[in-house]
A = this chain, B = another copy of it.
């Protein structure tokens, strides 16, 4: 529960610790908490984050104040702990009150920042022995708790299956919309994975497809991919998956030079047909600011010619061949045939997927697919967790 002091947010910030003392210094207020932690807050930061009704519009909880309209040498006249809340009086007359739960959750002393970094969800890597998380259609459609469990598995493990899904064409949209709206592409809102004579991608043939991410040809690869099986009477066509983060981390261990090449040398991916022509230049492995693997971009059939210096070209080929060879190693691969009424939902930027060739003369095979972006997944999780 919030105390009397409002916050510019729809989340709640439970009080974890009492405020003990507030001391006004030249450009900051130094707060001491009941557990001994000391958190400095600069005057500019505090004034910027004043949650009063003049500074934040209460309906949208969006800021109206712009900090540039406040003097850059603004200082506090006084700071007190009143009824558990930090109360600050500013030179010039404004007053601000800060909820202790909110203040602790946003403190930027080293200890508080390290604590928040450590609490961030981490990917749980998997290999061929992965215990696939399976969810029930009716449960995720009706029970917000089951929905949240499914979404957390998608976020942290990146590969899930849902069973008991209706097999009418289009029913995929119903479960996708439990998360959010669907991300459209040139292949449509829902795309049909069937062998077609006039295929505009190898995905729409009966060929085997090597392990890949979808739409590496776009600046932002889709976050989630759904593949829903309506009919699967054809011989072959098994689904294959690998955890791209697990492979990238193994490569980093086994061949650091190859790993670095895939992080640093951009590669062009192309998806072109008579009506569209998408091209995107980006490295195959993306790292975050802390050097952790956060994305794999890979589809051999959509790759353009490598373009790097003559000196680097042999290294790039060595690294690329090594990565592809690793995706073929049994230790990483999960192989399963999808049955009607089942769907795969996976992190398209982490979990590479493939299918074996199938024989279109042996029986019908019809999957439907769609995409939802990671923004939508994370937003839905935050709302369910409120």
Residues of chain A having any CB pair with chain B under 8 Å: 9-11, 27, 40, 42, 44-45, 48-49, 57, 59-64, 66-68, 72, 106, 108-110, 113, 180-184, 186, 197-202, 204-205, 207, 210, 217-220, 266, 270, 272-280, 289, 300-303, 305-310, 313-314, 317-318, 320-321, 324-325, 328, 373-375, 378-380, 382-383, 386
Contacts and interface: CB of A to CB of B under 8 A. Distances in A.
Nearest to A63: B301
Contacts of A197: 59
Given A45-B317, A68-B328, A181-B184, 5 more contacts: A45-B313, A60-B201, A186-B379, A278-B375, A280-B375
A200 B60 CA distance: 5
A277 B64 contact: no
A321 B61 contact: no
20 contacts: A11-B272, A45-B313, A45-B317, A48-B306, A49-B305, A57-B205, A59-B199, A60-B204, A61-B272, A63-B301, A64-B202, A67-B317, A67-B324, A68-B324, A109-B310, A180-B186, A182-B184, A276-B379, A276-B383, A277-B386
B379 A309 contact: no
Oligomer: number of copies: 2
A84 B250 CA distance: 46
B201 A305 contact: no
